Amino acid sequence: MDIEEKTRQFPNILITGTPGTGKSTHAQLLAEQSSVPLRHINVGELVKEKGLHEGYDEEWQAYTVDEDKLLDELEPVASEGGIILDWHTCDVFPERWIDLVVVLRCDHTQLWDRLEKRNYPLKKIQENNEAEIMQTILDEARESYSQEIVIELKSETTEDLESNVERLVQWVKAWRRDHGCNDEG
């Protein structure tokens, strides 16, 4: 346990997965339902708001993230703890920042429908669907972080969502108890 972790009163959680798996919904509900203050950071929105990119890629309809700028922006809040990072990739964040990596998974046919409803271009739907089938993000998480902190959760139904958020709320309570933090926050 490094000094940074010893001084943090709240854990840092990374919720990741293929676009359309429910990352933002999970993160927002966890922030709302947790008995301690957790701040939801939608990394894609932060990149746009703060200009932490190298421009817009028209073909993929996405910003090309400047990882150095992103990490510089997030370092102070990650050091404090109590953040829920919500992003479709995970290997950019230093392992020391993250206490739990949640990889959301969804059946690829359901995912296809979700991305179509978002009006994603066909190429982007195909690419993301293939990534889900090949479990690209789960493999990335397992390669980037300790096995003990990576969990895979199904995210297909409202029941999945509710169960997952409750499980994460309980995990936060356990983390705080295991790190000698009191319940008041």
Q: State the CATH number of the domain containing residue 10.
A: 3.40.50.300
Q: Please check whether residue 48 lies inside any domain of the structure.
A: no
145-170: b (≥16 Cβ within 10 Å) or e: beeebbebbebbeeebbeebbeebbe
**Which structural domain range is residue 86 located in?**
3-43+80-172
Residue 98 in this model has a pLDDT that exceeds 70 = yes
Kindly state whether residue 143 falls inside one of the protein's structural domains. Answer: yes
Give the pLDDT band (50/70/90) at residue 6.
low
Six token digits for residue 142: 């397992």
pLDDT tens-place string over residues 13-52: 999 999 999 999 999 999 999 999 999 999 999 999 999 9
For residue range 127-176, what is the model confidence (pLDDT) as tens digits? 999 999 999 999 999 999 999 999 999 999 999 999 999 999 999 999 99
User: Is residue 133 in some structural domain?
Assistant: yes
Q: State the binding site for ATP.
A: 20, 22-25, 118
According to DSSP, residue 179 is labeled T
Query: Does 181 map to a domain?
Result: no
| Radius of gyration over every alpha carbon of the chain, rounded to an integer in angstroms | 16
- In this prediction, residue 61 has a pLDDT band, given cuts at 50, 70 and 90, of confident
In-domain check, residue 184: no
Q: Decide if 23 contacts 16 (C-beta within 8 A).
A: yes
Output the known binding site.
20, 22-25, 118
Please give the structure tokens belonging to residue 29: 């509900």
Has residue 74 been placed in a domain? Answer: no
Instruction: Give the model's pLDDT for residue 58.
Output: 87
Q: What is the pTM of this model?
A: 0.93
Q: Which residues, listed in sequence order, are joined to residue 14 by a DSSP beta bridge? A: 85, 101
Domain count, the chain: 1
**The length of the chain, given as a count of residues:** 185
